[in-house]
């Protein structure tokens, strides 16, 4: 999870996209609304810990349990499945016994807890938790408070042309 360099939204899945010749890490909402070209998809994780460094009483390698993570397009999957069943957000919230606000957050791209994700999976008969993939995010120190994003600068530039 990261921060969209276009709109500044925190804790969303971002993909490398191109807009006006610039490469940015953007959320799916910005990619869709600005019709951006996606340059990068996720690739599976490669284990970084060599088997020789694992400590076990026996010398046999330990079988690794597959880890699950939320799918990068989880919010689109939820919205599409909910709409296909003809449910409103309020209907889904009542069926899985969570607040309407939680469903609204999920559909806007904010990552739900595993328990809410599992409830949604069961109610809508979809898959949200998938095998863990390589983290394509880079850590960036963000000062407190929201600074200017590239999207803000673009809006300012375009408004000067009017």
Digit-coded pLDDT (tens) for 19-44:
777 888 888 888 888 888 887 655 44
Rounded to an integer, the average pLDDT of 65-86 is 86
What domain range is 17 assigned to?
1-44+136-152
Least confident of 45-54, 62-71, 131-140, 150-159: 45-54
In a domain? residue 103: yes
**Residue partners of 115: CB distance under 8 A and separation at least 6:** none
Per-residue pLDDT for 138 more than 70? no
For 98, 142, 146, 151, the CA distances from 154, given in Å and listed in that order, are 38, 20, 16, 5
In a domain? residue 49: no
Per the structure block, which two tokens stand in for 35?
Answer: 């019709």
Rounded to an integer, the average pLDDT of 63-85 is 82
CATH assignment of the domain containing 90: 1.10.260.40
Rounded to an integer, the average pLDDT of 105-128 is 90
In a domain? residue 50: no
In a domain? residue 100: yes
Q: Answer whether 151's CB lies under 8 Å from 33's CB.
A: no
Closest among 72, 78, 70, 20 to 41, alpha carbons compared: 72
CA torsion sign for 79, 83, 86, 89 is positive
Closest among 31, 24, 28, 23 to 13, alpha carbons compared: 28
Q: For the chain, how many structural domains are there in total?
A: 2
Does 143 lie in the same domain as 83? Answer: no
| Predicted model pTM | 0.45
Does 146 lie in the same domain as 110? Answer: no
Q: What is the pLDDT of residue 59?
A: 46
């Amino acid at each position: 999870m990261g921060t969209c360099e276009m709109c500044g939204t925190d804790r969303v899945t971002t993909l490398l996209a191109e807009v006006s010749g610039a490469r940015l890490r953007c959320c799916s909402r910005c990619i869709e609304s600005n019709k951006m070209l996606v340059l990068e998809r996720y690739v599976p994780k490669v284990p970084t810990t060599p088997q020789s460094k694992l400590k076990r009483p026996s010398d046999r390698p330990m079988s690794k349990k597959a880890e699950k993570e939320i799918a990068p397009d989880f919010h689109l999957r939820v919205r599409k499945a909910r709409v296909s069943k003809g449910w409103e957000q309020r209907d889904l919230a009542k069926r899985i016994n969570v607040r309407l606000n939680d469903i609204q957050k999920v559909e806007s791209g904010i990552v739900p807890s595993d328990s809410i994700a599992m409830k949604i999976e069961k109610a809508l008969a979809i898959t949200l938790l998938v095998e863990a993939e390589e983290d394509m995010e880079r850590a960036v120190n963000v000062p407190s408070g929201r600074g200017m994003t590239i999207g803000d600068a673009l809006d300012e530039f375009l408004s000067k042309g009017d």
